[in-house]
Every structure is written in C-alpha cells, then in structure tokens.
Chain A
Amino acid sequence: AQSVTQLDSQVPVFEEAPVELRCNYSSSVSVYLFWYVQYPNQGLQLLLKYLSGSTLVKGINGFEAEFNKSQTSFHLRKPSVHISDTAEYFCAVNPRGYGGSQGNLIFGKGTKLSVKP
C-alpha cells in the first residue's frame, strides 16, 4: 500500500528565512508527486507536481521541490518566505494505476507553516 509521511506537523520560521518542508513516501510502484497548499478557510491549491524528467520542480510563489527516488523523498523548499506563505502544506502521491487507482491522490497529514515577522 502507498503512504505519505510529512515529518513535521508544524514549522515556525521568521520572515525572509529559508524553509524546507519534508515529505517521504512509501510505494512499491512508480508514483506521481504533488504539493498542495491550503490557506485558512480555503480549498487546496496546487503548488507543483513531479511527473517525470528533471528531479527539480519549480512551482508557484517561488516554491520548488526535489524528487529523490533513492530516498523516496519529495521535499519542498523556498529560499525566502513571506508572511503570506503562512498556510498548511500537503504532500500527495498518485500511484500510477496501482490497485485500480484511477488518479485519486493519497495525502500526508500536512505541515503547518507559520511565518513570523
């Protein structure tokens, strides 16, 4: 079975500091990988996704993530955060057709990023 582990439930950082949100996945088949962001009282919004090709993926709002197949990780990074980045971030995998999957996502429990002035 596939699973996603987000190692930190909460990450507090100061404005303009770099941040890394960690995500590890477990899967016996190839997966597609996603990061979503959820602002308070809003739905989830796609930040970036890894499908194939370059392991470094750039997304919106200055975020990027690196796929590491050997470590089964897909960590999210931003070199300098803003107050407006305060939100909850979810890592998700989409197993490629495994077990009859038709494209649904398996999410981690989320990491709450709190950016302080």
Chain B
Amino acid sequence: EAGVAQSPRYKIIEKRQSVAFWCNPISGHATLYWYQQILGQGPKLLIQFQNNGVVDDSQLPKDRFSAERLKGVDSTLKIQPAKLEDSAVYLCASSPGSLLYTDTQYFGPGTRLTVL
C-alpha cells in the first residue's frame, strides 16, 4: 500500500513569509498527526485530527500556525508569518484510528523548512 505522502520535501523562506505543507495519509486512516522535529530533538506533536475534527492542538502556536483536514483525508499545515525558530522538519503521520493508544503511527518523509 502507498505510504504517507508529503510535499514539498524542502522549503527555504525568509522570516515573516508564509509557507504551507501538504500531507496525504494512508488510505482509510482516520487519525492524522503533524509533528515538528527541531534538529537534535525528537518529534513534538503539533496537532492531531480524528477524521476532520481536531483532537489535540494544545502545542500548536495558534498565533502563527494553522492546520486543516478537509473531508477527513488530506491535510495542510500553514505558518504565517514564519520565524527563525520555525526551522525544522515537519512530519506527518497517520494511523488507523480505531485503537488510539496502541495504533502504529506511519510517518511520511517530512518537509525540511529553513527560515532565513
């Protein structure tokens, strides 16, 4: 089966610019996650969707980050305006969603964002 797809793979922007990332989860997966992985650290959850509803966005910097999952399939994550500290790899993951605590999460290759 096809894995989690993300685009673009790399993005370089100036600070205060806007950027958007796209994720297509594994077909049929109800749960979708966006993680931020700063160099030298483990991934940190930004937002979690169950179908097209937000389950957890407690760590999403809502003044500049937004995410949506229209129709419960694809998702976009947007940063507006970007700051230097937003430089990181943004990982999208999906899971079947039937057993939230024990489901395996499947990760995409990530988008590496560099903010200059």
Contacts and interface: CB of A to CB of B under 8 A. Distances in A.
Interface of A: 4, 32, 36, 41-46, 49, 51, 90, 92, 94, 96-97, 100-105, 107-110
Contacts of A46: 104-106
A103 B44 contact: no
Contact of B56 (A32, A102, A109): A102
Given A4-B42, A97-B101, A109-B40, A104 B33 contact: yes
B56 A100 contact: yes
Interface of B: 3-4, 31, 33, 40-45, 48, 50, 55-56, 91, 93, 95, 100-110
Given A46-B106, A110-B42, 9 more contacts: A43-B4, A43-B110, A44-B43, A90-B43, A101-B56, A102-B55, A103-B95, A103-B101, A104-B56
Q: Which of A36, A49, A92, A105 has the most CB of B within 10 A?
A: A105
| 6 A-B pairs closest in CB distance | A107-B42, A103-B100, A43-B107, A44-B107, A104-B45, A102-B55
B56 A44 contact: no
A105 B45 contact: yes
27 contacts: A41-B109, A43-B3, A43-B4, A43-B108, A43-B109, A43-B110, A44-B91, A44-B105, A44-B107, A46-B105, A46-B106, A51-B102, A90-B43, A94-B101, A96-B101, A100-B56, A101-B101, A102-B56, A103-B48, A103-B95, A104-B33, A104-B48, A105-B45, A105-B105, A109-B40, A109-B42, A110-B42
B28 to A, nearest CB: 17
Nearest to B102: A51
A94 B100 CA distance: 10
Nearest to B108: A43
A103 B103 contact: yes
